[in-house]
Amino acid sequence: MIRLIIALFLLCKPVHAAQEQVVLGLSQDRVSITADFDGSEILIFGAVKREAPIPDGPPLEVIVSVVGPSEPVTVRRKERRFGIWVNTDSILVDLAPSFYAVATSAPFSQVLTNTEDLRHRVSIGRAIRSVGADMNVEGAQNFAEAVIRIRENEGLYSIRENTVAVDEQTLFRTSIDMPADLTEGDYLARIFLTRAGQVVSQFETTIDVRKVGLERFLYNMSRQQPVWYGLMSLVIAISAGWGASTAFRLLREK
């Protein structure tokens, strides 16, 4: 009897989750940071693979997110004391992405329910993990909101609604602008297919962001040989100052 009930349950489950899958493409899966790097645009496109006709009911929606490497961030609160601004409270945000962009095919509230957002951590607020704070610190959540607000102003965090084009509930495409001051590492690209706010399929891939050429050499030296890096920087600064002084003196003599 129990086996019969389980079999009936499996037969009654919606099958569109297994029938709709993402087939993804990227304009580039590697971003090279050079000395003259001023940003990049990643074109993300794909199709929906089906084993059955398009299901009836709510239309298919698409969410695309690109997440940069995460790291702890210490946020401090400043208050005016005795005529000067001083740090009073501080909170460690456990993990905050260095870059976070979300593109949707419709308003965010329509493409994903709060429950699904909580499960998959898609919105910016959900992407930042819980805040570690002393119980005596008031308004702890405001510190995480401050991180979001600052990085939104810097162009590092963004939610772009209605920017994913979906054709015939099968083909989709969008572009993600990546700023010049990218953090090096693996960027996770996630694609969600949803119906009525429920995730029916998802796909993940990575975009490799690395420094190359002279930028790579200087970065490695600053981390692996800081003493030599400091000496080299000092020599370059002295040489540049001497060269500028000599050129200025020659110009005056003429």
d(CA 198, CA 219): 43
**Residue 191 in this model has a pLDDT that exceeds 90:** yes
Bridge partners (DSSP) of residue 3 are none
- Look up the pTM and report it: 0.69
Neighbours of 50 (CB within 10 A): 14
**Residue 46 in this model has a pLDDT that exceeds 70:** yes
* % pLDDT > 90, the chain: 24
First CA to last CA distance, the chain:
104
d(CA 232, CA 217): 13
Lowest mean per-residue pLDDT among 44-53, 76-85, 132-141, 185-194: 132-141
Amino acid at 186: D
**Residue 82 in this model has a pLDDT that exceeds 50:** yes
pLDDT tens for 51-76 read 888 888 899 999 999 999 888 777 76
Q: Judge contact between 64 and 103, C-beta under 8 A.
A: yes
Is 156 strand, coil or helix? coil
- Closest C-alpha among 22, 3, 10 to residue 204: 22
Q: Judge contact between 110 and 61, C-beta under 8 A.
A: yes
Average the pLDDT over 7-23 and give the result: 52
Tokens standing for residue 103: 């593109």
Q: Which residues neighbour 17 within 8 Å (Cβ) at sequence distance 6 or greater?
A: 200, 201
